[in-house]
Chain A
Amino acid sequence: MSDRHDWPLWEVFVRAKRGLNHNHVGSLHAPDAEMAIRNARDLYTRRQEGVSIWVVEARHISASSPDEKDSFFDPAADKVYRHPTFYDVPEGVEHL
């Protein structure tokens, strides 16, 4: 039996019965992808939470850095014109 530290971490995404997209639900350890899907089935779909499972090894996920939070996300805070509600729709415009 492998040492537990040999097993990589996997991130688990589950699509609910009425859901359109897979949502991140948590992570787990498994020796490979097939076992990760089975472990995910046991850990995250015991109460009929989902009808489809994705797993991806955590090391394959590239994430934005918390240090860049200011430059990445804050500038969007005052750009109200990026929201459709900013614009008045002229009367008489159809098919919008």
Chain B
Amino acid sequence: MSELVDYVLRLGDDALIHAQRLGEWIAASPQLEEDVAMGNIALDHLGQARALLTYAGQVEGAGRDEDTLAYLRDESSFLNCQLVELPSSDFGFTIGRLLVFASYQYELYGRLSSSSDATLAAIAAKAVKEVDYHRDHATQWTLRLGDGTDESHGRMQQALDDVWPYVPELFESDPLIASAGLRGIAVDPSVIEEPALAYVDAVIADATLTRPQTNVRHTGGRRGVHTEHMGYLLAELQVLARAHPEASW
């Protein structure tokens, strides 16, 4: 069942690492109201991560629980896509990333809710409603920033340009996805590329922005290869649990 463990870790790590980045906006957002919105979205992700990592630990059967998997794994054992680990350079970037990532997750969880794996199906059925709202939140902001002032338009376009090289990784299929052990369980990411990006394209057009044209593509997260930002992110995420093993609060 190691294929299933790795597959669930991919999903769980995406949610965990994105939660960490979103949480950085709490008390740093443009508005108090947005602090709460970002906090809510981050907590939704954290909830998904907890359920998924717990399940990965159960399937693995080696006694690792959600905390062990979140706090005591090293960088190369994390299987999240690189997009979610990138620093939140500005609010526009956070929104651009959320737009793409929520569109991806929406299509993914929608299909995963009919997975032959009952636990994954249940987690996905709950998560898809949450993600629907994340996508809407990102949509509203993209429209306002893209079709706003010259300054906000320029920065929102820059955000999409910065996000785009990391988009293809979301929709990559690989031998793990195609493995016999995951047949009927996993969703092939290449299948959801078209509907997910169709949604993003429509929002981009409405927001008077342009879909970036680039051949640059960064990939490797699903194999544990990460950007230079990942180590710093994990240091902050894990320092307390590593400095005080077994601590509870």
Contacts and interface: CB of A to CB of B under 8 A. Distances in A.
Contact of A38 (B30, B32, B136): B136
Contacts of B91: 1
B37 A42 contact: yes
Contact of B152 (A1, A28, A43): A1
Interface residues of A, number: 15
A42 B40 CA distance: 7
With most chain A CB atoms within 10 A of its CB, the pick from B33, B34, B36, B140 is B33
Interface in A1-29: 1, 4, 7, 28-29
Contacts of B144: 31-32, 35
Given A31-B144, A46-B40, A4 B33 contact: no
A34 B33 contact: no
B111 interface: no
A39 B31 CA distance: 10
Contacts of B137: 38
A32 B147 CA distance: 14
Nearest to A28: B33
Contacts of A53: none
B32 to A, nearest CB: 8
Nearest to B136: A38
Nearest to A30: B33
Given A1-B91, A1-B152, A31-B144, A43 B36 contact: yes
Contacts of A31: 144
Given A31-B144, A46-B40, A1 B33 contact: no
A1 B34 CA distance: 12
B35 to A, nearest CB: 9
A46 B39 CA distance: 11
Given A1-B91, A1-B152, A38 B140 contact: yes
A42 B42 CA distance: 12
A50 to B, nearest CB: 15
Nearest to B137: A38
Contacts of B31: 4, 7, 29
Contacts of A30: 33
Contacts of A46: 40
Contacts of A7: 31
Interface string B49-73: 0000000000000000000000000
Nearest to A31: B144
Given A31-B144, A35-B144, A42 B30 contact: no
Contact of A35 (B32, B40, B140): B140
B152 A39 contact: no
A35 B91 CA distance: 16
Interface string B9-50: 000000000000000000000111110110010000000000
Interface of B: 30-34, 36-37, 40, 91, 136-137, 140, 144, 152
